[in-house]
Amino acid sequence: MNVMSNNGLFDSREELSDGYYVRLSGDIDMSRSPEIRNELLGIVGEDCDRLVVDMTDVPYIDSSAVATFVEVLQYQRDRERKMVLCGLSRRVLSILQIVRLDRVFTIAADVESGKSV
């Protein structure tokens, strides 16, 4: 597994056999979502059959973060590729539930299952 450099937005970004794994941290609100959107779309714009987004260290997201994830998910699905969210706290999961997107995203319980689901 190749660990790539941290660009400041991701705690880590690793190349998988079929895509990429990124670990986010901190609150993701309207002040950060545009940059994260651009970075994630840049990653899936490469040869990325699977994008695994690790949210273990993300205590809070708002609707702008949800919109970012929906946009990336749609990009992947349009190309019959996968996007997996993992490590969601109860609080973050509840926000996806409120907007009824918890059944739209593929959500893995942990990072390892996120890389194989």
The answer to the question of residue 63 lying near other proteins (CB under 8 A) is yes
User: For residue 117, what is the DSSP state?
Assistant: -
Distance between CA atoms of residues 56 and 11, nearest Å:
11
Total residues at interface with other proteins (CB under 8 A): 25
The answer to the question of residue 79 lying near other proteins (CB under 8 A) is no
- With beta carbons less than 8 A apart as the criterion, state whether 31 and 41 touch: no
Gyration radius of the chain over CA positions: 13
The answer to the question of residue 41 lying near other proteins (CB under 8 A) is no
* Complex with other proteins: residue 74 or 116, whichever CB lies closer: 74
Least distance in angstroms from the C-beta of 37 to other proteins: 9
